[in-house]
Amino acid sequence: MAHKVVAIPGDGIGPEVMDAVRAVMRAADAPVEFETHEAGLAALEGPEGELLPASTKSAILAAGLALKGPCTTPIGTGFRSVNVQLRQTLKLFAAVRPVRSLPGVQTRYEDVDLVIVRENTEGLYSGVENVITEDVVASMKVATRPACRRIAKWTFRYATQRRRKKVTVFHKANIMKMTDGMFLEEARRVHKEDYPNIDYEEMIIDAAQMRLVQDPTQFDIILCENLYGDVVSDLCAGLVGGLGVTPGANIGDECAVFEAVHGSAPDIAGQNLANPLALLMSGTMMLNHIATTRDDEQAKLAAQRIKKAYDDTLSAGELTRDLGGELGTKEFTEALIGRV
Ligand code: NAI
C-alpha cells in the first residue's frame, strides 16, 4: 500500500531538490504517493494569496505526512514564516534533527551520530512579550507540565524504537529554576517510571556546548527546550558539514512534516547547483517514520537502500559543488539512482 505524502516543493532551489528526491524515491520503490501542494512565495502568488494556504494545511492533516522544500519568507512586516505557522497550526511539538558524519564529507570529526530533540511549542518562543515601560520590555519563558511531559515521553519512546542508549537533557535549571526545573522534573519522572533501561544524564547547557565541540561522540540523544534546541541544532549541523547535509522533522500526534533545514538559496536557484541530499535525508527519515509508526517493512527497506546509495556515492567522492565536488544536481541524482 502506498502512503499518501503531501509534497511542498517551496521556493528557489526547492522544486529542483524535490524533483531529485522524488526520482530517487521512485527508483528505491518507496511505498509513497506524492500529492503536490504549494507553500511559500509560489502560494502567495497563487489563487489563495497566502504563504501557507488552508488547502495545504488540510491536505497535510488528511495525509498525516508531508515532505517540504525550503520556503522564502518575504522581507517586511505582516508575513509569518511558513515553518512557524506549520508548527503552530499542526501542533508539531517535537523537532527532530539527526546529525551524522557522512563518508567523503571532510569535517573535524569522523564518527558523530546523535539526534537532537527540541520541544517546539513553548519556552521563549511562546510569543508572550510585554512593554513594561517605554525603556523596558520583557519576553516570557513559558513551560507547562503537559508539554514537558509530552516531549520527554516522545523522546524516550523514540530512543527505544531506534535502539538508542542514552538521553542527555541540556538545561539551565541552576538559574531558571522553575521553567528548566519543570523540564528536568518531567524528564526524570518519565525516565524513572517508564524507561529505566535507557541511560539518562543532565548537563548544564554552557558546559554541554564545550563538551559537544570537544567530543560530540559522547552524545546519543540530546533533549532540549525550544531556544536551546534551536541553537544546539545548528551547532551540531556544523560538526558534520553544515545545513546542506542535515535533515529535519517536525512531529506531532496527528501529522509529521519532514524538511531540509537549509533555505531556498536564491543565489543558486535554477542553475543545477543545488545539493538535494538534505531533503533526500529528510525523505529517508520520513520512510523510517512510516516504517515504525505504520509498521511497513517496504518503507524500511527503501530507506535502507537510499541511505546506502548516498553513503556509497559520497564515499566514491561523487559530490556536489557545495561539498567540494564537481557534480550538478542532475548528475548527483543520476549517481544516486544508479546505486539505488
Ligand atoms: P540559505 O540556506 O537559503 O542559503 C545560505 C547559503 O547556503 C547560500 O549560499 C546557498 O547557496 C547555500 N545553500 C543552501 N542550501 C543549499 C543546497 N541545498 N545546496 C547547495 N547550496 C546550498 O539561507 P538564506 O540565504 O539565509 O535564506 C534564503 C531564503 O530561505 C530566505 O527567504 C529565508 O527566509 C528562507 N529560509 C527558509 C527555510 C525553510 O523553509 N526551512 C530555512 C532557512 C531560510
Question: Which CATH number characterizes residue 138's domain?
Answer: 3.40.718.10
Q: How many domains, the chain?
A: 2
Q: Is the beta carbon of 16 within 6 A of some atom in ligand 1?
A: no
Give me the pLDDT at residue 77, please. Answer: 62
337 — phi, psi (to 5°)? Answer: -60, -40
Domain match, 116 and 62 both: no
Give me the pLDDT at residue 340, please. Answer: 94
Q: Is the beta carbon of 305 within 6 A of some atom in ligand 1?
A: no
Give me the pLDDT at residue 128, please. Answer: 87
What would the pLDDT profile of 124-137 be if each residue is shown by its tens digit?
Answer: 988 888 999 999 99
Choose the final residue of a domain: 240, 258, 285: 240
Give me the domain span that covers residue 274: 1-93+243-340
3-state secondary structure of 279: helix
Burial 106-140 (b: 16+ CB within 10 A, else e): eeeeeebebbbbbbbbbbbbeeeeeeeeeeeeeee
Domain match, 118 and 209 both: yes
Domain match, 50 and 76 both: yes
Q: Is the beta carbon of 274 within 6 A of some atom in ligand 1?
A: yes
Distance from C-alpha of 38 to C-alpha of 52, rounded to nearest angstrom: 8
Q: Which ligand 1 atom is nearest residue 268's CA?
A: 11
Q: Give me the helix-helix angle, 297-315 and 329-339, nearest 10°.
A: 120
Give one word for 57, left, alpha or beta, with left for phi > 0 and alpha for psi -120 to 50. Answer: alpha
Domain match, 300 and 224 both: no
Q: Ligand 1 center to residue 227 CA distance, Å? A: 21
Q: Is the beta carbon of 83 within 6 A of some atom in ligand 1?
A: yes
Choose the final residue of a domain: 191, 222, 240: 240
Distance from C-alpha of 166 to C-alpha of 171, rounded to nearest angstrom: 16
Give me the pLDDT at residue 65, please. Answer: 98
| Cβ contacts of 223 within 8 Å, gap of 6 or more | 117, 151, 152, 155, 167, 168, 169, 170, 187
pTM, rounded to two decimals: 0.95
Nearest residue by C-alpha to atom 1 in ligand 1: 263
Q: Is the beta carbon of 259 within 6 A of some atom in ligand 1?
A: yes
C-beta atoms surrounding 57 within 10 Å:
20
Q: Ligand 1 center to residue 321 CA distance, Å? A: 15
Q: Please check whether residue 101 lies inside any domain of the structure.
A: no
What would the pLDDT profile of 72-131 be if each residue is shown by its tens digit?
Answer: 888 766 677 888 889 989 999 999 999 999 998 989 999 999 999 999 999 998 888 899
Domain match, 27 and 53 both: yes
Q: Is the beta carbon of 268 within 6 A of some atom in ligand 1?
A: yes
Q: Please check whether residue 298 lies inside any domain of the structure.
A: yes
Distance from C-alpha of 250 to C-alpha of 150, rounded to nearest angstrom: 14
11-15, 53-57, 85-89, 159-163: which has the minimum mean pLDDT? 85-89
pLDDT at 152 over 70: yes
Distance from C-alpha of 84 to C-alpha of 82, rounded to nearest angstrom: 6
Contact (Cβ atoms closer than 8 angstroms) between residue 233 and residue 97: yes
Closest CA to 125 of 168, 80, 167: 80
Q: Which ligand 1 atom is nearest residue 70's CA?
A: 40
Domain match, 176 and 229 both: yes
Q: Is the beta carbon of 275 within 6 A of some atom in ligand 1?
A: yes
Nearest residue by C-alpha to atom 31 in ligand 1: 72
